[in-house]
């Protein structure tokens, strides 16, 4: 949480909006994460919650996520379901750190 706050020291933030997407039928790990958010003293609002049993489907007796990720149009703040052609790990994409300097120049 401190890492997130350090990125917005210059702004007066009343609350933090959190989008959690991708976990499925993972009773231990995601429930622990959800519990940790509840314990924080910060003002946190869950905007999107697409995890655990809410994001689970079965196919040939295997549990799979309904939604693997979301995309955000940063100009309109529209959130929509992302689709991925490749299923393998994308190390470059996973290593990206989203940031904003307030510029609209892209």
Phi-psi region at 86: left, alpha or beta (left = phi > 0; alpha = psi -120 to 50) = beta
Most confident range, picked from 42-46, 86-90, 93-97: 42-46
Does the global pTM surpass 0.85? Answer: no
Q: How far is Cα 25 from Cα 31, in angstroms, rounded to an integer?
A: 10
**Cβ distance 51 to 23 under 8 Å?**
yes
Question: Taking residues 18-28, what's their average pLDDT?
Answer: 70
Segment 59-88, tens digit of pLDDT: 898 888 888 778 888 889 888 888 777 666
Q: Specify the pairing of strand 44-50 against strand 16-21.
A: parallel
**Cβ distance 65 to 52 under 8 Å?**
no
More confident residue, 25 or 47: 47
The two three-digit tokens of residue 4, written as one number: 């997130």
Q: Where are the domains of the chain?
A: 18-84
């Amino acid at each position: 949480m401190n890492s997130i706050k350090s990125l917005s020291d210059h702004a007066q933030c009343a609350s933090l909006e959190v989008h959690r997407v991708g976990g499925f039928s993972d009773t231990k790990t995601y429930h622990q994460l959800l519990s940790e958010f509840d314990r924080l003293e910060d003002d946190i609002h869950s905007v999107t919650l697409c995890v655990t049993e809410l994001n689970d489907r079965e196919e040939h007796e295997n549990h799979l996520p309904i939604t693997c990720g979301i995309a955000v149009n940063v100009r309109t703040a529209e959130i929509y379901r992302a689709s991925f052609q490749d299923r393998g790990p994308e190390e470059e994409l996973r290593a990206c750190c989203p940031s904003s300097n307030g510029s609209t120049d892209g």
